[in-house]
Amino acid sequence: MDFTFNEDQLLFQEGVRDFLTNEVTPEKIRELWETDSGRSPALWGQLTELGLTGLTVPEAFGGMGMNELDFVLLAQECGYVALPEPLVQTVLVAVPTLVNSSNEDLKAKWLPQVAEGAATIAVGLEQNLLVEDAHIADLLLMEKNGNLYAVEQADVTLEYNQSVDPSRKLYQVSFDESRAMVVAEGDEAQALVNGALNRGALGCAAQALGLTQRMIDISVQYTSERTQFGVAIGTFQAVKHRMANVAVPLEYAKATVAQAAYAIANNVSSVDKNVSHAKSMACAASLLGAKNSIQVHGAMGYTWEVNLHIYMKRAWALDKTWGDQAFHKGRVAEAIFADDALLGAGNTFVR
Amino acid sequence: MDFTFNEDQLLFQEGVRDFLTNEVTPEKIRELWETDSGRSPALWGQLTELGLTGLTVPEAFGGMGMNELDFVLLAQECGYVALPEPLVQTVLVAVPTLVNSSNEDLKAKWLPQVAEGAATIAVGLEQNLLVEDAHIADLLLMEKNGNLYAVEQADVTLEYNQSVDPSRKLYQVSFDESRAMVVAEGDEAQALVNGALNRGALGCAAQALGLTQRMIDISVQYTSERTQFGVAIGTFQAVKHRMANVAVPLEYAKATVAQAAYAIANNVSSVDKNVSHAKSMACAASLLGAKNSIQVHGAMGYTWEVNLHIYMKRAWALDKTWGDQAFHKGRVAEAIFADDALLGAGNTFVR
Amino acid sequence: MDLNFTAEHDAFRQEVRAWLAANVPAEPLKTYDTAEGFQQHREWEAKMNEGRWGMVTWPSELGGRDADLIQWLIFEEEYFRAKAPSRVNQNGIFLLGPTLMEYGTDEQKAEILPKMADGTEVWAQGWSEPGAGSDMAAVRAKAELSDCGDYYIVNGQKTWSTRAVWADQCFGMFRTDPESKRHKGLTFILVPLDLEGITVNPIPQLDGLPGFAEIFFDNVKVPVNRRLGDEGQGWEVAMATAGFERGLMLRSPARFQQTAKRLVELYKENQASADRDPAIRDAVVKAYMAAESYCLTTFETACRLIKGGKIGAESSTNKIFWSELDQTMHEVAMDILAARAELEPFAPQAKGVGSWLDGFLFAQSGPIYAGTNEIQRNIIAERMLGMPRK
Amino acid sequence: MDLNFTAEHDAFRQEVRAWLAANVPAEPLKTYDTAEGFQQHREWEAKMNEGRWGMVTWPSELGGRDADLIQWLIFEEEYFRAKAPSRVNQNGIFLLGPTLMEYGTDEQKAEILPKMADGTEVWAQGWSEPGAGSDMAAVRAKAELSDCGDYYIVNGQKTWSTRAVWADQCFGMFRTDPESKRHKGLTFILVPLDLEGITVNPIPQLDGLPGFAEIFFDNVKVPVNRRLGDEGQGWEVAMATAGFERGLMLRSPARFQQTAKRLVELYKENQASADRDPAIRDAVVKAYMAAESYCLTTFETACRLIKGGKIGAESSTNKIFWSELDQTMHEVAMDILAARAELEPFAPQAKGVGSWLDGFLFAQSGPIYAGTNEIQRNIIAERMLGMPRK
């Protein structure tokens, strides 16, 4: 039993955090809002140089061969800066899905490109209403009629759907199966789809942790500087307790996210329950974080100028995608209300 | 449209409040805990002198001929002092049920006795697990197999069930129909039963308002006197906000209780919805009142010595009897989700 | 107690309903946070005034209908039911209007009220100053009487001025006694926004539109007849205005009841999906009950006021109750809409989302403006419950 | 990261399980808030000690098993699963014990620890004084060194002393420097409760039983060798003890997980009735998730501590999390039990109520004791988040 991240993982996180907080500033995000694609090839190049795009690509295909547990702290940092680039989707969702498939041609063609930063892959599941970043994806893994297809950018038709979060680029994707390659069918496809869904949900949960921390940090700074009635408003007990009330569920969501990442990386039998537990709790913490942060900002929190809304809007969106609260609480309910459920002390860690 | 109580009603309330707060003190309640019956014939005599026991008895039977709306503010005061005597049950529930029945013999025999303070009547519905104050009831109106029976004390068998609230005297009642009088059968019985349930629920709601106010008053006094870190703890914003958070739902439950009383007294068609709305909101306010009051009391609130628990325990009990939250929220849901429901602005006041 | 409307009430309701049915634009107006929408709303105010429906609570000699509070609530019920446009001049009609009637000179009333009524002059409020938040007494903007005594020279800054971007006039407190502190030495002044020396900077809000603005005053000369009340009486006048803000005229129950109705409808339309999360059904029921409670309590208060009662610190419960209810209802709607919740209404997949997202964003401001809910809780604890201040 | 128990862990678990299966009384003991129950629990502690299961984290030379935190958590899991008795001497074993090992003299350890371990001496804590609440530094009880230097003369009062009614010993801080204020000039002293001049007054709690007591000290002569640490070092010693209180040794996740399990079972037994209120199912699911989170976070912290990490202000999140979870779980249980909820377990109609009512009453104290949750929120805001103090 060792429920800690190792030194390498923590150092990697630190490096990525430094890079992201320096590069993916609120100003940078606002700049990207003004561009057509909303995405920065230059930034993607930097992420590639850091080894991030190839992190989960097997070494045989030019990647680092690391797993979901190695990436989860980095996904948290992506959340902390509200990264617009589709790093989580490509590295955490798409690549492992491809790797887990039996389609060697696809792997050979695409995984090296992903590792080199030359391609991104989007994933479209029926569970999700829309596909994130389909417009810049070179390849799309699409669930359709129970199968999983791989289809290239040239062969899809996209319809843009604007989100409240200007960084999020959402598309309805249509394609003709005849121009797509079958990745998997039947049970194999559904196993891959479920795996992708779990990875997508884990990505949301990890980002939600980062977003919540960011909203706390912004709020603490704001309330420490802003004075009213002659004192910093952060000295008011009501303001303090609002932020403490965010810190508590955040603190208790962290270990659930770690467990979920571990469960995915190690094929633990309780993986669905673990992921749903993490997604539900981490996103709930982030919603409370948004609500309490805007409140302690007063009217400033309601402005476009203050950066808070960048993170709030992402938190709102992530709560509802890759399975909403209903879906994830529902999966937990199914597990714990089952006749053969092993409940209570001593049953938390299973193989 | 006049959504106010009239001067007479308010004056009556004031008089009863003065009497009850002087007579039904926490010390008096603790004394009664030590008695066998838990009830005070002397107190009942005083309540009779005030005209309370006969309040809803028609004038023809020696009462004041007043209605549920006239009594609801008094029920609130009964809650404020956590009155142990079965005044609400007798006056608000039992008497109108009997008056609304077509059994003239029963009325002629029992109503004058109630008005004189010589008899109390308990009501046992299938909706309720147990019967309150069955041990001192001279007559019991009992729902059984779809009918409503009247049965005298001598003909019932009682089994005592101890409540967390030492003032509450709860009994399982069994009787032989052959020794009981039929008050009503079939539809008439069910109409009387539903009316009794609504009146019982209204009684709980009104008492919950009084209980909540009492818990606020006790807490405000305690936190104004108690010092910590050199200042009254009532100056801490966290303590203030806890109490303000009780005051808000209490304030907004009051008008629902008034509407419910009006609806019963005037046979308004939405009466079931109105009563359930009031019961749910008033009891929810009282639960929050209990929770926040014990918290601002610190460890003192956890003691038997401090009077707070007298009112907390009553609040906990009343939330769950005469229909619990599930029952009352369920009746509201049924009304608002009905296909022909009239929803939204302009539909609050119906005939 | 009599919870029936009188025949006169019913007749009044029918009259309102008929006029609205004939006049409410079939196409919703554009939001008044755009120039075009602002103009459309200004025209709507003019049409309302023509029909004498713009300020029903005003005296008839000022173009109103002498409506009492119950009639006002009936009017609002019909107004929200008819989905009539939001009131772009609510700062004027509901806040400054009644204040002027109490504190204004006959000349001021004659000059200002008619233009307010017909939408010729739309009013912005200048309550807040930068860095002051809910602290209304933290006024630094100055007004100095000119030597000749004809005008005030106004300097300083106001912020969070709702709709100021396209408004014509603004009211607020200015410090006329430079030695004074807090709520002393303040004077209530009405400032035309086209005067020289005024700069209005839009502040984009969460949806990106400029719903409010900062106003800079640089040696602005405001004629002395634009002072409302006496010099130094500003706090008293402002408290009267703020009382109207917290009072019954704004935040009609009808608004929240109609939201609750739409929420029930949204739930029913999406019931199969919504029932996957049992918390949703429960939240819808509770929200509906809360909206009804808000209505009941408001009618109760209105009846009490009509009979000569006073509104006290319990008006602070009002602010908390409606703002949290509004926030909750929109959160529940977001939960029902699930993945559609984040979509702008014009997105192709945004079927059935209606205006819930806009409403959700707007609801975020409820617990903040007109005195944050934290301030309201302090007021409730201290003034209503009598808890110690220090 | 490796979330599997080692073979040694599994073996340890089996050993605990086997011993408990053989030794846990078939009939639940009476509550230790009664004289008879107290004696039963004292005997249970002796039996635990015989099997060397009483203080598994203590060093083996003191009768413990040198268990690390993971083993401790495993022990607790088995202990709660086996429904073994509550620990009447937890103040001794988990709070004072570790403090003694850190600050005690060899003589003190030799004299005190064995009797603590076998239940001969049950310890009460004397943290609070009347009117001081969560303010541990508000100590007025005095201890004056006698002229001969052999003993302290102790005067004053302690309150909320858990289990003091039948306990043998009590620990607490006393003011040895009469000129000192707040957390200065305090000394940590261990007081035998049978000394002359001591009066213990039971305080009945919500269920009417004396779960705690006031202790009055009237010129009590306490031998100087009962001082723990140096004179004036009391605050430091107490902070170490309080750290153990907030730390991992108490409030085992297993306790809350077993409650969550029982809640799931209660829900399933009463599902038809419970599902009338959709909020209940949702609350059960959320409570179960929270209990699991508490377990996960505790194991994570334990692993971090084993690797040399430190526990900081985040231990304050711990207190809030478990106490609110415990309260919520019992509230939900009350909702499920509905009309049965108010009944004492021995009432004829109390079928299936189990110990939920007792648990509900006890859960009310969670957010209060060991520093109210308000105090914990201040600590989180100031020390963990770095918000300004004044």
As a whole-number percent, the residues of chain A with pLDDT over 90 amount to: 97
Give the bridge partners for D187, in sequence order: D174
In D, minimum Cα distance to B238 occurs at D374
C191 touches chain B (CB under 8 A): no
Per-residue pLDDT tens digits for C126-176: 988 987 776 778 899 999 999 999 999 999 999 989 889 999 999 999 999
Of B244, B341, B348, the CB nearest to C292: B348
Whether A240 sits inside 8 A of D294 (CB atoms) is no
Which residues in chain D have Cβ-Cβ distances shorter than 8 Å to B160? 347-348
Assess D390–B contact: CB distance below 8 Å, yes or no.
no
- Residues 276-315 on C with a CB inside 8 Å of B are 281-282, 285-286, 288-290, 292-297, 299-300, 302-304, 307, 314
Contact B238 A241 (CB under 8 A): yes
Reading phi first (left if > 0) and then psi (alpha if -120 to 50, else beta), residue D370 is in left
pLDDT category at D130 given cuts 50, 70, 90 is: confident
Model confidence at D244: pLDDT above 70: no
| DSSP line for D252-285 | -HHHHHHHHHHHHHHHHHTHHHHTTSHHHHHHHH
Q: How confident is the model at residue C315 (pLDDT cuts 50, 70, 90)?
A: confident
What is the tens place of the pLDDT at every residue in D181-215?
Answer: 888 999 999 999 999 999 999 999 998 999 889 99
Instruction: Report if residue A305 sits inside a domain.
Output: yes
Interface test with D, best of B228, B276, B296, B310 (most D CBs within 10 A): B228
CB A234 within 8 A of CB A220: yes
CB distance from C203 to chain A under 8 Å? Answer: yes
Q: Residue B66 falls within a domain, yes or no?
A: no
CA distance D22 to chain C (A): 43
Kindly report the CA angle at A272 between A271 and A274, in degrees rounded to 5? 60
pLDDT of the residue at C244: 67
Say which of C131, C334, C365 has its CB closest to residue A227.
Answer: C131
What is the rounded (10 degree) CA torsion for D52, D54, D57, D60? Answer: -30
Q: How many CB pairs under 8 A join A and B?
A: 8
β strands within D81-230, DSSP E:
123-126, 142-145, 151-162, 169-175, 186-192, 198-203, 212-223, 227-228
Domain count, chain B: 1
The answer to whether position A76 is within a domain reads no
Residue B302 sits in a domain of what CATH number?
Answer: 1.20.140.10
pLDDT tens digits for A183-241? 999 999 999 999 999 999 999 999 999 999 999 999 999 999 998 888 999 999 999 99
Q: Is B236 on the interface with A (CB under 8 A)?
A: yes
Q: Which of D364, C381, C316, C386 is CA-nearest to residue B242? A: C381
The identity of residue A3, as a single letter, is F
Q: Is B112 a member of any domain?
A: no
Pick from C232, A281, B34, C99: which is nearest to D287 by CA?
A281
CA A130 to chain centre: 15
pLDDT of residue D333: 98
Q: What is the ipTM of this complex?
A: 0.96
- pTM of the entire predicted model: 0.95
Phi, psi (5° rounding) for residue C323? Answer: -70, -35
User: What residue numbers bound the domain in which A230 lies?
Assistant: 199-337
Q: With beta carbons less than 8 A apart as the criterion, state whether D338 and B325 touch.
A: no
What pLDDT does residue C249 have?
61
d(CA D230, CA D188): 8
Task: Tell me: pLDDT of A20 over 90.
Answer: yes
Enumerate the active-site residues of C: 245
Instruction: Find the CB nearest B161 among D138, D334, D343.
Output: D343
CB contact under 8 A, C281 and D278: yes
C257 at B interface, C-beta within 8 A: yes
Which residue in the block uniquely carries the two structure tokens 């798409």?
A94
The answer to whether B238 contacts A238, with C-beta atoms less than 8 Å apart, is yes
Per-residue pLDDT of D66-118, as tens digits, reads 999 999 999 999 999 999 999 999 999 988 999 999 999 999 999 999 999 99
Joined tokens for residue A25: 């500033």
Helix H or strand E encompassing A157: strand A156-162
Residue whose pair of structure tokens reads 């419970």 in the numeric block: D274
Among residues B183, B221, B218, B219, the alpha carbon closest in space to that of B296 is found at: B219
**Each residue of D346-358: pLDDT tens digit?**
999 999 999 999 9
* Interchain CB distance below 8 Å, B241 and A238: yes
Number of Cβ pairs < 8 A linking chain A and chain D: 170
Q: Which of D361, D325, D357 is nearest to D339 (CA)?
A: D357
Q: What is the side-by-side strand order in the sheet with B169-175?
A: B131-132, B169-175, B156-162
Q: Is residue C252 within 8 Å of residue C57, measured between CB atoms?
A: no
For D316-331, the pLDDT digits (tens) are 899 999 999 999 999 9
- Average pLDDT of the segment spanning A282-286: 98
In a domain, A87, yes or no: no
In a domain, B206, yes or no: yes
Q: At what angle do helices A325-336 and A271-297 cross, to 10 degrees?
A: 140
Sign of CA dihedral A334, A335, A341, A345: negative
Dihedral sign computed on CA atoms, order C161, C165, C171, C177? positive
User: B241 CA to chain A: closest CA distance, Å?
Assistant: 8
Query: Which among A225, A280, A336, A340 is the top mutation candidate for probing chain D, defined by the most D β-carbons within 10 Å of its own β-carbon?
Result: A336
- Pairing verdict, β A147-152 and A156-162: unpaired
Q: Which subunits have 3 or more CB–CB pairs within 8 Å of chain A?
A: B, C, D
pLDDT at D282 over 70: yes
Tell me whether B231 touches chain A (CB under 8 Å): no
pLDDT in tens, C261-280: 999 999 999 999 999 999 99
Residue D310's pLDDT is 81
Is there a contact between D1 and A281 if contact means CB atoms under 8 Å apart?
no
Can you give the pLDDT at residue B75? 98
Q: Where are the alpha helices (DSSP H) in chain C?
A: 7-23, 35-50, 69-81, 90, 97-103, 106-117, 234-246, 253-269, 271-274, 278-306, 315-337, 356-363, 373-379
Q: In whole angstroms, give the CA distance from residue B266 to residue B263.
A: 5
Tokens matching residue D84 = 């073994």
Q: Nearest CB to B344: which of C260, C268, C285?
A: C260
Of A3, A333, A336, the CB nearest to D299: A3
Answer yes or no: is pLDDT of D30 > 90. Answer: yes
- C-alpha B130 chain-centroid distance: 15
Report residue B104: phi and psi, to 5°: -70, -30
Per-residue pLDDT at C248 exceeds 70: no
CB contact under 8 Å between B238 and A236, yes or no, is no
Measured CB to CB, residues of chain C less than 8 Å from chain D are 277-279, 281-282
**What is the least distance, in Å, from the CA of A149 to any CA of chain D?**
34
Pairing of strands C186-192, C169-175: antiparallel
State the nearest Cα–Cα gap between B285 and chain A, in angstroms: 21
C8 touches chain B (CB under 8 A): no
Q: Do C281 and D277 touch (CB under 8 A)?
A: no
pLDDT digits (tens, 9 = 90+) for C324-335: 999 999 999 999
> Mapping DSSP to helix (H, G, I), strand (E, B) and coil, where does residue B290 land?
helix
Alpha carbons D298 and D248: distance in angstroms, whole number = 7
Domains and CATH numbers, chain C: 7-87 (no CATH), 123-232 (2.40.110.10), 251-385 (1.20.140.10)
The per-residue pLDDT of chain C, averaged, comes to 93
Say how many C-beta atoms besides its own lie within 10 A of residue A184's C-beta.
21
Chain C residues with CB under 8 Å of A309 CB are 206
**Does the residue B277 lie in any domain?**
yes
CA C176 centroid distance within chain: 27
Which pLDDT band, with edges at 50, 70 and 90, does C246 fall under? low
Answer whether residue A117 is part of any domain: no
pLDDT at C121: 96
Considering only CB atoms, A162 lies closest to which of C212, C347, C367, namely C347
Active site residue ranges of D: 245
Testing the interface with B: which of A236, A237, A241, A295 to mutate, by most B Cβ within 10 A? A237
The minimum CA-CA distance between A127 and chain C, rounded to whole Å, is 10
Residue D248 pLDDT > 70, yes or no? no
Distance from CA of B42 to the nearest CA of D (A): 27
Per-residue pLDDT of chain B (351 residues; tens, 9 = 90+): 999 999 999 999 999 999 999 999 999 999 999 999 999 999 999 999 999 999 999 999 999 999 999 999 999 999 999 999 999 999 999 999 999 999 999 999 999 999 999 999 999 999 999 999 999 999 999 999 999 999 999 999 999 999 999 999 999 999 999 999 999 999 999 999 999 999 999 999 999 999 999 999 999 999 999 988 889 999 999 999 999 999 999 999 999 999 999 999 999 999 999 999 999 999 999 999 999 999 999 888 889 999 999 999 999 999 999 999 999 999 999 999 999 999 999 999 988
- Contact A258/D300, CB-based, under 8 Å? yes
- Nearest CB among C203, C343, C374 relative to A305 is that of C203
Higher pLDDT, residue A299 or C221: C221
- Structure token digits, residue D181: 């204020």
Residues 134-173 of D with CB under 8 A from B: 134-135, 138, 160
Instruction: Write down the pLDDT at residue C215.
Output: 96
Residues of A in contact with C204 (CB under 8 A): 303-305
Beta strands B139-144; B121-124: pairing state = parallel
Mean pLDDT of A82-99: 98
Kindly state whether C274 is in contact with chain A, defined as any CB-CB distance less than 8 angstroms: yes
One DSSP character per residue, C207-253 reads: TSS--EEEEEEEEEEEEGGGEESSTT-HHHHHHHHHHHHHSSSSS-H
Using a CB–CB cutoff of 8 Å, tell me whether C201 touches chain A: no
